[in-house]
Chains A and B, each alone.
Chain A
Amino acid sequence: MAEPGPKPPHPDTLAVHAGQSSDPATGARAVPIYQTASYTLPDTDTAAALFNMETPGHVYSRLSNPTVSVFEERMAALEDGVGAIATASGQAALHLALVTLMGQGGHVVASASLYGGSHNLLAYTLPRFGVATTFVPCGDLDRWRAAIRPETRLLFGESVGNPSVDVLDIPAVASLANENRIPLLVDATVTTPALGRPFEQGAHLVLHSATKFLSGHGIVIGGVLVDGGRFDWLASGKFPTLTEPYEGFHGMVFAEESTSTAFLLRARREGLRDFGACMAPMTAFHILQGLETLPLRMARHIATTHRIVEYLAAHPAVERVHHPGVASHPGHALAKKLYPRGASAILAFELKGGRDAGGKFIEALTLFSHLANIGDAKSLVIHPATTTHFRMDDAALAAAGITPGTVRLSIGLEHPDDLIEDLARALKASQR
């Protein structure tokens, strides 16, 4: 047996350092905020070389920016990818992935357990542009397989679904993707690289809403699309955007230009250039501040969540708790295997008394904030059926694992005893 090779730095170290050297101009140790739209071109030859991708560098902040690049490279290192593109939001990251891979006539197979915003884009908006999606139950591999058509160009799911907390069997869906020579894109917003790395489990592309745990403090909107560099676009033969000359960039064949970063090249040189949903440098700075403590925060989020899951599961006012930590949850065994450090600081539960009880419960909480977000340092609560998922009919809600009485919690960094006290009071109020 070969001796193990040299190891890259641990995630805790990458979270603090990856992608950044002390500022070459000033020696600044923290990441400087390069608040600039554009960059001086030293001479005409260099300018032409930069524009023609003969030499790397920054040209215009829609395409790249030094502060944003630190965030991109740090995420790529944390995910063990080949690179990343930061976007204006998580939605922009999903859109960027889709438009880089397909155009009119393209088809996506997606897990039904999706964030409401992703569902909107796929179910209602993209069909208008000729891209169709078939939604399948997260854990039903036969349905995934049956939904794949000759024109399918992407499989898509959330590592842990929001708000159903379904666990995606990434290795199984990834092998289905490989069989069909199409990539698997995983939205890993809920798990983050601190709990699991989708590329190691077989995924090909990863996206995050960086608004959530990555930034961790509920202060910015941002997204990121990470390329695993593991998909063979040429062998697939299904992705002319990457393997055939692109008229929009001097006939460049992206898979020829860079074997392992072809997807990123096209996404940046076309998707960011033309759709323009880039990240602002100040946003990248805020997210980077959060990223430094990601492994610490996730450990605390998870530990507190497990206490709360236990508390709620034993409470007489609670019908059912949806969390992979509960033995009866369909993703319990899978979560143990894929996320040994814990799978989710998001949980959902059904209150006895349905919609009315749900309303009373939310209004009686004082420490939990009632708002549409997850992954904040502050604990959050929402009623999906009337907010994030209100466009769905009952059947679609059920497919996404939501009932009219479902309440979703995102567990923050407060002391667990204080959170449990708040929940206890509100649960009591809900049953009056």
Chain B
Amino acid sequence: MNFIVQGYPAFAYTGGRPFDVALPAIVFVHGAALDHSVWQWQSRYFAHHGFSVAAVDLPGHGRSPGAARATIGEYAQWVVGLLDAAGVQRARLVGHSMGSLVTLEAALRHRERVERLALVGAAAPMPVGAAFMQAAREDSPAGFDMETLWGHARLAQLAASPVPGVALVGASRQLNARSRAGVQHADLQACNGYRVAPEALADLAVPTLVLAGRRDQMTGFKAGETLAAQIPGAKLVALDAGHSMMSEAPREVLRALREFLS
């Protein structure tokens, strides 16, 4: 469905059920140059199990018009704007990769709006290598290759897919390739430029889950471990998967989120 956020239409997939403000809300936020469909195997489940779900397309992504934002802070404000638009006072926020920084920053700025926070494939800071950044700047297909191949466990295309008949790496690559010109670069710059003070993390009084993939080539497992250690009370769950763990290990991600969010 469409909301109006910061004056523009904003698309969010609601998991096949109407968005009901009376139910506890979960907002899912995708990573760089992707869209809501990365949460296919989590969002629909929660929408059918007592939650209202908004898996958003960030501005300039998927079905949401407008320009991609230059900073994580701007995306975080947009997510809070979405809560306002949906009439939701407090929500559970779930973010992946760049989306993990967006939800983290939203929680740091507006902790009263955040019931729980789940960070999937997260690292703070999230530095982006020069070759990757340059490829994205040039809108080169190499940028999508890098995001896709590093964004999955090594040689993921040789392994059986948990989604029968779907080639996860290929599907992710084509989702990336649909992003509008300049969006990947804007997103990578937002990731690369994001800084969070250790004191701010130490002060984050929001129940937090960090889901980290042991075979993550993009935001290494150690980065997730470090982030979890910096947030008081944060729970770390290790998964045998790469960075795109929502599709690489859909059942395991769902189990961890279900235990944490319910």
Contact = CB atoms under 8 A, between A and B. Distances in A.
Interface of A: 1-9, 13-14, 17-21, 48-49, 52-58, 64-66, 68-70, 72-73, 76-77, 80-86, 228-230, 232, 234, 250-252, 256-261, 264, 268
B51 to A, nearest CB: 12
B167 A250 contact: no
A259 B63 CA distance: 10
A250 B175 CA distance: 25
A57 B159 CA distance: 15
B140 A81 contact: no
Interface of B is mostly: helix
Interface centre among A2, A69, A86, A228 (most CB of B within 10 A): A2
B227 interface: no
A84 B164 CA distance: 9
B174 A228 contact: yes
Given A2-B135, A259-B62, A72 B165 contact: yes
Given A82-B171, A83-B166, A3 B131 contact: yes
B170 A5 contact: no
B157 A259 contact: no
Contacts of A256: 13, 37
A258 B164 CA distance: 14
Contacts of A70: 160
A14 B145 contact: no
Given A54-B44, A69-B161, A234-B63, A261 B166 contact: yes
A56 B250 contact: yes
B58 to A, nearest CB: 14
Query: Top 5 nearest A-B pairs by Cβ distance?
Result: A5-B145, A5-B142, A229-B174, A2-B135, A76-B167
A21 B160 contact: yes
Given A14-B158, A84-B165, A260 B178 contact: yes
A4 B142 CA distance: 6
Interface of A is mostly: loop
A76 B35 contact: no
Contacts of A21: 158-160
Interface centre among B134, B162, B171, B178 (most CB of A within 10 A): B171
B176 to A, nearest CB: 9
Given A14-B158, A230-B177, A234-B63, A2 B165 contact: no
A258 B254 CA distance: 17
A133 to B, nearest CB: 28
26 contacts: A2-B131, A2-B137, A2-B142, A2-B143, A3-B131, A3-B134, A4-B145, A9-B158, A14-B157, A19-B158, A52-B44, A55-B41, A55-B45, A55-B254, A57-B164, A69-B160, A69-B161, A72-B164, A77-B170, A81-B167, A84-B167, A230-B174, A257-B13, A257-B40, A259-B35, A260-B172
Contact of B37 (A2, A57, A257, A268): A257
Interface string B140-152: 1111111001100
A250 B160 contact: no
B66 interface: no
B112 interface: no
A229 B142 contact: no
B197 interface: no
Interface string B183-223: 00000000000000000000000000000000000000000
Interface centre among B135, B158, B163 (most CB of A within 10 A): B158
A8 B157 contact: yes
B165 A85 contact: yes
